[in-house]
Amino acid sequence: MSKYRYLDFRALLNASFILTFSVLNSLPLLAFGVNATLSSFSQSFCVDCHAGADAEAGFDLSQLETTFEDEESTQRWVRVFDRLSRGDMPPADAEQPSAEERRAILAKLAEGIQQAEEQRAEVVLRRLNRVEYENTIHDLFNIQLPLQHLLPQDASTAGFDNVGEGLVLSPETIRAYLKTSELILGNVLGPPEAPPQIKHRTNFLRDRDHRGNVARASKFGSMFRKTPEGIVIFQSDYCPTNLIEFVKLKVPAGTYRGRVRVRAIQSDAPVTLRIYGGDTLTSRREKHVVGYYDIPPNIWTDLEFTDRLMEAGGTYKFQCYNTIDIRKGADTYTGPGLEIGDITIEGPLEEWPPASRQQLLGDLDVEQATLADAEQILKRLLPRALRRPLRDGEQEFYVGLVEQRLEFGDNFEASLRFALQTLLCSSDFLFLNEQPIEDSRGRQRISDYALAARLSYFLWSSTPDVELLRIAHAGKLSHPAILRQQVERLLSAPRGEALVRNFGGQWLGLREIDFTTPDQELFPEFDELLQRSMLAETEHFLQHLLDKDLDVMQVIDSKFTFLNERLAAHYGVPDITGQEMRWVPLPEDSWRGGVLTQASVLKVTANGTNTSPVLRGAWVAEHIMGRPIPPPPPTVSGVEPDIRGARTLREQLAAHRDNSLCASCHDRMDPPGFALESFDPIGGYREHYRTLGDGKRSGLSRSAFTHSWVKYKVGLPVDATGTTPDGMHFEDVREFKRWLLLREADIMRCITGKLMTYATGRAMRFSDRMEIHNVIDRTRSGGNGLRTLVHEVVQSSIFQSP
């Protein structure tokens, strides 16, 4: 879209909105003549192509209601408005309305859509999603307890799982809250006596459960090498180095500190040690990565780590990474390995009584406690839990629950638990109170307490802290300067990383990265560390944009990224050693830069076996340009890739596009999809497809890092050229990104709208567009930085309104 068309569109919206606000909402839509105007314009310029069963792109205007009485009809007219305002319709080869006719119909459409939205507008109560619930419990009670897996998965609406319309409260969810609240309170109050403290010292050489393996290493030359300090391991795959004696201790869930004496041998460079925790023996229960650690050669390192075992009875396992697996001959093997000496695991590290109990009860002796003590506890806790001052009778209600249980014969702690469980399952705790109030100027806005909660859940995905509630209590949070200070404080706190993790994870679809498992025969180089590094790159990149307030448009292209050794090797970037992520400049001609060419995004937009320009193109259209592609008509079948590699999808799509029902959408989604064809399903750059059918041998015998045998062959060449909807030809993704950078208005509108949806917990409406444009203008004036955009979103009337 040109700059001038963008400005004209804004002026048009402004004029039409002023007209709309100047009339009474109670007047029927037909009083404005909307119906007649739309019908006349549609008959003149639309129905030749968009009528009946053969309507172009399946969009039949002849049957579309013109009174905006239902949501579906209104949204379809919004699509008409957008295509008319951009000049996409009528198509260039069709009869065109005059400039005045186009302005008139757009004004009428804006007027009707706006009024319809106002008449249907309602405040939807927004429930805390699983992430917000867990974080709220952690911050409210000062505990660390995994809870998300105990609650039903939240539905995604408008691309995010914190939108009120999708967060229904089903019977299943209520049962889950009841069960989870019991676990929470048991963790808050802690066990009746201190759990036994464990300090387990071991050595694989001396551990009786490993002595057999070590003996066989000496006798048969198996996978371990015996040394005076312990044993040497070489395996990056199967390696029986679980701490089995630790399993037999049946340790409780909790946080543990581990120390391991280790050094790399037979290597000039560091060797990577990876540690797993949890059920490392059977993996039937929870198992997780503790970390990847670069161990220097020939120097003993006392590595220390801290880890939480989520379930009782967990243990730890130690393996090499990026080494050749050997099952025998360890005594004479000359490749890199790790010598492991003494190991110490101690914990649980949590205090007893737990800090959470002290925070809740203070120094109260529960054996001597009275109802008055319960009243004081609830008086302190309830305003924090409910995120606002108490209403008349609320405190008395919860105190009454304690009194009731005491009268039934329960002890004080059980009675208090009952009241707290009721609180944690109450609608006032589970839902955000964002009902409107009227300010001194007669405008509708949310209260300062609701603003504190909205701000905190936006930036921290958690409940407001004491300072936010204190400022809200003083009635000062809505003051622009104070609100700006609080945004800075929240973003700068460690919890400020939640914005990138939860907004970025949903906007870019990073939460779906586990959804597909790459075909190991086609992509033998894929492994766990590569996927972890993919996610880390994107999260570090977005966090850097936010911390440094860099131009939002760097999400399209940038001169830097974040890499570690594993991801750098995948990208072909030399001279990066170690598994710690770090800022890396990119050369001028790099294929990388921006999020589109980051492996995380490329993986979530592929299926693990092959790529589809259609799927990736539709993803770019929706997530980057803000122009979702409608699903194909039911009469049109999809295009399935040729898994034998005889024909490229481009060749198949060429025939598919001859269908007039398909061409209009494919014109928009195929170009970005073709530009990204230079990247395989795991984000590696390619010039040829891989195939398990006919083709040349790759020339590789083993894959780097995983050392798996290479079975794939070199298939057909990749063609990453294309032509944009406005006729610009591009040779590769670098030229396509330059074209995208010229679409700043579209991209900023898309990103701002998605950020606003996430920030407010509701989908953006047509009537929000003017304020979104205002936010974009103010952001541009401030340098167009991502941090500036966050500030302007918070200062907007949308964010501060119900």
pLDDT attached to residue 31 = 35
pLDDT attached to residue 26 = 32
Point out the least confidently predicted range of 131-135, 493-497, 658-662: 658-662
Which part of the chain has CATH 2.60.120.260?
198-347
The distance of Cα 194 from the centroid of its chain, to the nearest Å, equals 38
Distance CA 224, CA 208 (A): 15
pLDDT tens-digit series, residues 282-318: 888 899 999 999 999 999 999 999 999 999 999 999 9
Q: Residue 311 CB: number of other CB atoms within 10 A?
A: 13
Report the first-to-last Cα separation within the chain, whole angstroms: 32
pLDDT tens-digit series, residues 248-260: 999 999 999 999 9
Name the strand (E) or helix (H) holding 713.
strand 713-717
Query: Is residue 44 over pLDDT 70?
Result: no
Query: Is residue 32 over pLDDT 60?
Result: no
198-347 to CATH, choices 3.30.230.10, 2.30.30.100, 3.30.930.10, 2.60.120.260:
2.60.120.260
pTM of the model: 0.89
pLDDT tens-digit series, residues 351-363: 888 999 999 999 9
Residue 418 in tokens? 């009952």
Mean pLDDT of 157-186: 94
The answer to whether residues 168 and 155 touch, using CB atoms and an 8 Å cutoff, is yes
User: Strand pairing partners for 346?
Assistant: 199, 257
Q: At what angle do helices 613-623 and 660-675 cross, to 10 degrees?
A: 90
Say how many residues make up the chain. Answer: 802
715-744 as b/e, with b when 16 or more CB fall inside 10 Å? Answer: bbebebbbebeeeeebebbbbbbebbeebb
pLDDT attached to residue 746 = 95
372-391 as b/e, with b when 16 or more CB fall inside 10 Å? Answer: ebbeebbeebbbbbbbbebe
pLDDT tens-digit series, residues 465-504: 999 999 999 999 999 999 999 999 999 999 999 999 999 9
pLDDT attached to residue 43 = 62
Q: Which residue has the tokens 């809200």?
A: 472
The pair phi, psi for residue 745, each rounded to 5°, is -60, -45
CA dihedral 359, 365, 370, 372 (to 10 degrees): -40
pLDDT attached to residue 104 = 80
Query: Is residue 9 over pLDDT 60?
Result: no
User: Strand pairing partners for 662?
Assistant: none
pLDDT attached to residue 217 = 52
Q: Which residue has the tokens 């968009």?
A: 50
The distance of Cα 367 from the centroid of its chain, to the nearest Å, equals 46
The answer to whether residues 254 and 350 touch, using CB atoms and an 8 Å cutoff, is yes
Distance CA 489, CA 496 (A): 9
**pLDDT band (50, 70, 90) for residue 329:** confident
**pLDDT band (50, 70, 90) for residue 99:** confident
Mean pLDDT of 223-252: 91
Mean pLDDT of 624-650: 66
**Side chain identity, residue 373:** D
Distance CA 176, CA 759 (A): 26
pLDDT tens-digit series, residues 385-409: 999 999 999 999 999 999 999 999 9
pLDDT attached to residue 223 = 84
**pLDDT band (50, 70, 90) for residue 45:** low
Written in H, E and C, the secondary structure of 531-544 is HHHHHHHHHHHHHH
The answer to whether residues 629 and 618 touch, using CB atoms and an 8 Å cutoff, is yes
pLDDT attached to residue 73 = 75
Half-sphere exposure in the Cβ direction for 455 (13 Å, CA)? 33
CA-nearest of 738, 769, 778 to 9 is: 769
**Percent of residues, the chain, with pLDDT higher than 70:** 85
Query: Is residue 61 over pLDDT 80?
Result: no
Query: Is residue 27 over pLDDT 90?
Result: no
Half-sphere exposure in the Cβ direction for 84 (13 Å, CA)? 28
Distance CA 756, CA 163 (A): 11
User: Strand pairing partners for 306?
Assistant: 257
pLDDT attached to residue 70 = 74
The better pLDDT of the pair 128, 89 is held by: 128
